[in-house]
Amino acid sequence: MSDDRPTPAPEPDEPTEAARPGVHERWWWTGTFRAVLGAAVVIYQWPVISSGEAQVPNWILVAAGAAVVVWGVWVVLRAWREKEAQAR
């Protein structure tokens, strides 16, 4: 008589997709997203600023974008320090 039961699959060495945390749950995500978003705003305004045709709203957007970049970098650095402190 033969055994018709399927053989179990070997255990994987790497964690499965379900075991990995989502990108938004990683320590670097929030700050990096903010920094990239702020940089995109500044880059979008750069042609107008560099041509000399900028008006006050363009400069306000550049200032806001630059502030978001600084904020994002600060958030990443703070999260990195907390991660390093927890690792010790």
Radius of gyration of the chain (CA): 24
pLDDT in tens, 25-51: 788 889 999 999 999 999 999 999 999
- Average of per-residue pLDDT values in the chain: 87
For the question of whether the overall pTM of this predicted structure is more than 0.85, the answer is: no
pLDDT at 11: 65
Burial of 15 (0-12, 13-18, 19+ CB in 10 A): exposed
Return the domain boundaries, the chain: 25-87
Q: Check residues 21 and 74 and name the one with the higher pLDDT.
A: 74
